Amino acid sequence: MKFVVAVKQVPDTAEVRIDPERGTLIRDGVPSIMNPFDTYALEEAMKWRDELGGEVTVITMGPPQAESVLREAISMGADDAVLISDRAFAGADTWATSHTLAAAVTELGAVDAVFFGKQAIDGDTAQTGPSVAASLDWPQITFIGKVRELNEKSITAERYVETGTQVVQAELPVVLTILKDANIPRVPSLRGKMKSRKAQIPVWGLIDLGLTEYETGLNGSPTKVVATATPEARIGGQIHEGSTEELVAKLADLLLGEGSEG
Amino acid sequence: MDYMLNEDLLAIKEICIEIGEKHILPVRAELDEGNEFPREIMNVIAQSDLFTIYIPEEYGGTGMGSMALAVATEELSRYCGGIAVSYAANALGAMPILLMGSEEQKKKYLPKLASGEKLCAFALTESEAGSDAGGVKTRAIKDGDHYILNGTKQWITNGGEAQIYTVIALTDPDRGARGASAFIVEEGTPGFSYGKKEDKMGIRASATRELIFEDCRIPAENLISREGYGFMVAMKTLDNSRPGVAAQAVGIAQGALDEALKYAEQRKQFGVKINSFQGLQFMLADMGTQIEAARALTYAAAGLIDTGSKNIVKLSAMAKVFASDVAMKVTVDAVQILGGYGYMKEYPVEKMMRDAKITQIYEGTNQIQRSVIAKAMIKEAKRK
Ligand SMILES: Cc1cc2nc3c(=O)[nH]c(=O)nc-3n(C[C@H](O)[C@H](O)[C@H](O)COP(=O)(O)OP(=O)(O)OC[C@H]3O[C@@H](n4cnc5c(N)ncnc54)[C@H](O)[C@@H]3O)c2cc1C
Ligand SMILES: Cc1cc2nc3c(=O)[nH]c(=O)nc-3n(C[C@H](O)[C@H](O)[C@H](O)COP(=O)(O)OP(=O)(O)OC[C@H]3O[C@@H](n4cnc5c(N)ncnc54)[C@H](O)[C@@H]3O)c2cc1C
């Protein structure tokens, strides 16, 4: 089986600070990590590779330094990796990002499934996986909490959705987005780390993917950011204490607009 | 301090930190309380290749040696001394095969130990034979192409959890220690069973158990080296593994110091952080200094073993004595710095103090180590 995992390098939000005046993220000096949700996608792909045989290729679109997440993925057990990087890819919105990733999947050839994280912790749109599926015109199963079965032909998976669990079957090739319920990602291994140090990671750009500048990066992005603004900070609520009777009376007063304390 | 660890050693360290943060921290108190063996964590350790580091490449290992084992043991011990010894005792159990085993024995057993498919333990101690290891009574009588084992081993780390045991037994009781031999015994051999599991003060996540041999027949090819070499195998094994105990001690101490520093930064009394009191600062300074000295001595001893030197007895013993005494002192002081909170199970330092104590006792008590060191020094002085 040939599996692809799309991973994104993101700033470690645990370390991110906000510039209080401009309301923007201070990215300088913030360590970059593999998008935490993508570790579940990677584990799921490796789990099925270990069971069925085959290989796991990890791809990321990003600047040259994004290569480090690919090495990390190899240290965890991925077989190889490709960095999708070109100046022409800069400023991509989710459409352009997905279009470019889809071209990379096509270039890899004979792929059985592409695994995505649920969402990226910075962009947070959860659009990339579904949008790649649309680009490739492949079926997709999103928000997978459990893969029940995967074989040469098809996949049966449980989607954890708000209303409950949905069991979906799809034919391969397929695009999947994986929730953290699906597995416990393995820790890197010593041999994996040794391999990742030596691994040659090819870089694919615009020409390698047979794309044009008009369909990638800022040029290829239909989204236009007109302005960004920080929402007003919410004022803290009131906390009242007392017996149930007292609290009910208090609440009634407040709702009726009496006894407000500010 | 930067010991210029190479990329492989740094990789080991990173892996141990990841295992510690993700897999050990969330469960260590529970395993300690429940006296429970960390089976799942052993699987994670196996999958991360940490069992490969003391096994040569030709037998499925990565052959990184004693220094690498010390780094791994130290780092895991920072999180839990009990889990770390459950790991390191595998190296102790494998040591007789590594040092003196035949090619066939190495080929048969080492790859399974490297992959973590099987765990291993070393069995020397008996109820009447502790420091005086020459006093073992377990018998091994040759019977055609088998040996028949009878006797009971006591306090065997990984007992009941391991599948492969290296066991010291007498083949010629008249010759005392010179009549001892080393054997490999596999779990499931008829006549081999487990006795009681101990309820311990510390390292409670590790299993310490009796091994009972009742007319246990093992193939003669399971003899390690030759008849009569058992005591030598045991002593060499311990000389090689003592830096591992030292590393465990350094790790436990470092874990306790980290907790003490963190707490002293947060806790306020008399309107100021307690780390602004000179009385505590001097304690912290001594703890840090002693740990660094213990680490340097431990790495020196492990490094010496990796050079292939035969002259490792003294430095190994020194590292074990010094580091374990440091671990005991530092963990007691860490409890002191946390005050009443330190005495409570809600905080990890009381466990670290309980875990530290064993490092002064097993693999030769510190009294025995001191006499080993003194004897070696006296011998050296005579030669000059
Ligand atoms: C107009 C516009 C301009 C932008 N300009 C920039 C810019 O200059 N620089 C910039 O960094 N971002 C830019 N972005 C953000 C960027 O488009 C998104 O980060 C990207 O499309 C992925 O979306 P997401 O972060 O919401 O990921 P999600 O859709 O939430 O991610 C889901 C999953 O998709 C996969 N995935 C996501 N991104 C990648 C990737 N790059 N490579 C491989 N797999 C991936 C992962 O598996 C991830 O778990 C811009 C966005 C807009 C709208
Ligand atoms: C948790 C745990 C795990 C263990 N794991 C293993 C294992 O995996 N395999 C194994 O074979 N053994 C194991 N042991 C046994 C351990 O190595 C022995 O307990 C240790 O060697 C000391 O023996 P003893 O307990 O019988 O003490 P004793 O020998 O009875 O000593 C009692 C006291 O007398 C002192 N003493 C004894 N002789 C002298 C002397 N000549 N000079 C000065 N002082 C002396 C000792 O230092 C000690 O203070 C383990 C023990 C414990 C508690």
Domains, chain A, with CATH or none: 2-204 (3.40.50.620)
How much is the average pLDDT of B37-63?
Answer: 97
Confidence of residue A28 (pLDDT cuts 50, 70, 90): confident
Average pLDDT over residues B320-334: 98
Looking at beta carbons, which residues of chain B come within 8 Å of A189? 15, 47-49
Q: Which pLDDT score, from 0 to 100, does residue A13 have?
A: 79
Beta strands in chain A (DSSP E): 2-6, 9-11, 17-18, 25-26, 32-34, 55-61, 80-84, 113-117, 140-150, 154-161, 164-171, 174-178, 203-204
Predicted pLDDT of residue B344? 97
Q: List the alpha helices (DSSP H) in chain B.
A: 7-19, 28-34, 39-47, 65-79, 81-100, 103-115, 230-266, 278-306, 313-342, 349-357, 366-383
User: Cβ contacts of residue B352 below 8 Å, gap of 6+?
Assistant: B81, B252, B255, B256, B259, B331, B334
Residue A45's pLDDT band, with cuts at 50, 70 and 90, is very high
Residue A172's pLDDT is 95
Which runs of E-coded beta strand occur in A89-172?
113-117, 140-150, 154-161, 164-171
Question: B residues 52-111 near A, CB within 8 Å?
Answer: 52-53, 62
Per-residue pLDDT band for A108 (boundaries 50, 70, 90) equals very high
Of B11, B23, B44, the CB nearest to A190: B11
Q: Per the CB < 8 Å rule, is A189 touching B7? A: no
What percent of chain A is predicted at pLDDT more than 70? Answer: 97
Atom of ligand 1 nearest to the CA of A59: 43
Q: Is the pLDDT of residue A230 over 80?
A: no
* pLDDT given for residue A129 in this prediction: 96
Q: Touching check for B19 and chain A: CB below 8 Å?
A: yes
The predicted structure's pLDDT at residue A18: 75
Residue A155 · residue A149 · CB < 8 Å: yes
CB atoms within 10 A of CB B196: 12
What's the pLDDT score for residue B1? 62
pTM to 2 decimal places? 0.89
In percent, the amount of chain B with pLDDT more than 70 equals 99
**Residues 6 or more apart in contact with residue A208 via CB below 8 angstroms:** A107
Share of chain B above pLDDT 90, in %: 97
**Per-residue model confidence (pLDDT) at position A227:** 83
Query: Does B138 contact ligand 2 (Cβ within 6 A)?
Result: no
- Whether the CA torsion B350, B351, B356, B358 is positive or negative: it is positive
* Span A99-103, average pLDDT: 97
Mean pLDDT of A55-80: 97
Q: Work out the pLDDT band at A258, boundaries 50, 70, 90.
A: low
Interface of B with A in 31-60 (CB under 8 A): 44, 47-50, 52-53
Pick the range with the lowest mean pLDDT from A71-75, A250-254, B275-279. Answer: A250-254
What mean pLDDT is reported for chain A? 92
The nearest CA of chain B is from the CA of A191 a distance in Å of 7
- Tokens at B111, concatenated: 């790859």
Task: State the distance from the centre of ligand 2 to the C-alpha of B135, rounded, in angstroms.
Answer: 12
More confident residue, A230 or B358: B358
> Does the CB atom of residue B124 touch ligand 2 within 6 A?
yes
Cβ B362 under 6 angstroms from ligand 2: yes
CA of B126 to the centre of ligand 2 (A): 10
pLDDT tens track for B16-27: 999 999 999 999
Q: What is the mean pLDDT of residues A128-141?
A: 97
The interface pTM score, or ipTM, of the predicted complex is 0.90
Q: Chain A residue with minimal CA distance to B6?
A: A194
pLDDT at A262: 45
Whether the per-residue pLDDT at A137 is higher than 60: the answer is: yes
A25 Cβ closer than 6 Å to some ligand 1 atom: no
Q: For testing the chain A interface, which of B47, B52, B64, B87 should be mutated: the one with the most A CBs within 10 Å?
A: B47
Question: What residues of A are in contact with residue B15 (Cβ under 8 Å)?
Answer: 187-190, 193
Best probe residue, ligand 2, of B361, B363, B366 (max atoms within 8 Å of C-beta): B361
How many Cβ atoms sit within 10 Å of the Cβ of residue B186?
A: 15
Domains of chain B listed by start with CATH number:
7-119 (1.10.540.10), 121-228 (2.40.110.10), 231-378 (1.20.140.10)
Q: What is the mean pLDDT of residues A211-227?
A: 90
For A216-241, give the DSSP string: STTTT---------PPPPPPP-----
Q: What's the whole-number mean pLDDT along residues B210-232?
A: 97
Interface of A with B in 135-174 (CB under 8 A): none
Question: Phi/psi of residue B294, each to 5°?
Answer: -65, -40
Does residue B84 register a pLDDT over 90?
yes
Mean of the pLDDT values across residues B290-294?
98
Contact indicator for A106, A95 with CB cutoff of 8 Å: no
Contact A190 B15 (CB under 8 A): yes
pLDDT for the residue B371: 97
pLDDT for the residue B3? 84
The reply to whether A14 touches chain B by the CB within 8 Å rule is no
Nearest CA to CA, how far is B303 from chain A (Å)? Answer: 20
Which residue in B75, B259, B350, B363 is the catalytic one? B363
The H or E element that residue A44 is part of is: helix A36-52
Distance between CA atoms of residues B210 and B126, nearest Å? 9
CB of A73 sitting under 6 A from ligand 1: no
Q: How confident is the model at residue B82, as a pLDDT?
A: 98
Residue B236 in this model has a pLDDT that exceeds 60: yes
The answer to whether B75 is a known catalytic residue is no
Q: What is residue A261's predicted lDDT score, i.e. its pLDDT?
A: 52
Pocket test for ligand 1, best of A3, A5, A8, A125 (most atoms within 8 A of CB): A8
pLDDT at A61 over 80: yes
Confidence bin at A257 (pLDDT 50/70/90): confident
Distance of CA B62 to the CA centre of its chain: 20
Residues 6+ apart with CB under 8 A from A195: A74, A75
Q: From B307, B28, B331, B36, select the one nearest B161 (Cα to Cα).
A: B36
β partners of residue A61: A84
Cα-to-centroid distance, A126 and ligand 1 (Å): 9
pLDDT band at A231 (very low <50, low <70, confident <90, very high): confident
A45-59, A80-94, A231-245, B346-360: the lowest-pLDDT one: A231-245
Question: CA–CA separation, B277 vs B337, rounded Å?
Answer: 11
Report CA(A11)–ligand 1 centroid distance (Å).
Answer: 12
